[in-house]
Amino acid sequence: MENNTQKSKEQLQEEARIQFYGAVRNNNPYSLTDNSIAQAIKIIAIAEIILGIILGIIFANQEDATSLRHETAFRWSVAITWWIATLVSGFLLLGFSEIIRLLHEINEKNNLKN
């Protein structure tokens, strides 16, 4: 019963989308009409977030050169700085890729009308 309810919700959402945008969504994720620039920026943003979190951990574990024993300690200030900077820039890139994707979709919709 839940599957039928879920299916009807998806159908209703697709019908509302068709009414609003006036075009049928292409369900093929590898279609030629997809915007490769938006996909490339999205991949770069995800890679930046992942690498930034890893680099934050690595740079926060650096040896303390001021002590004579060269102890390693986790510096939370360095890690949090890296993590915040990475998350902010990564999410900005994700938002930018979504804007490009939506503009591309609007452009395709306008081309269908003409």
According to DSSP, residue 63 is labeled: B
Structural domain spans, the chain: 29-113
Model confidence pTM above 0.85:
no
Encode pLDDT of 41-66 as tens digits.
Answer: 999 999 999 999 999 999 998 876 66
Q: What is the pLDDT of residues 76-91, one digit of tens each?
A: 999 999 999 999 999 9
Contacts of 37 (CB under 8 A, 6+ apart): 100
Please give the residue that has the higher pLDDT: either 78 or 109: 78
- Alpha helices by DSSP H, listed for the chain, are 2-21, 36-60, 76-113
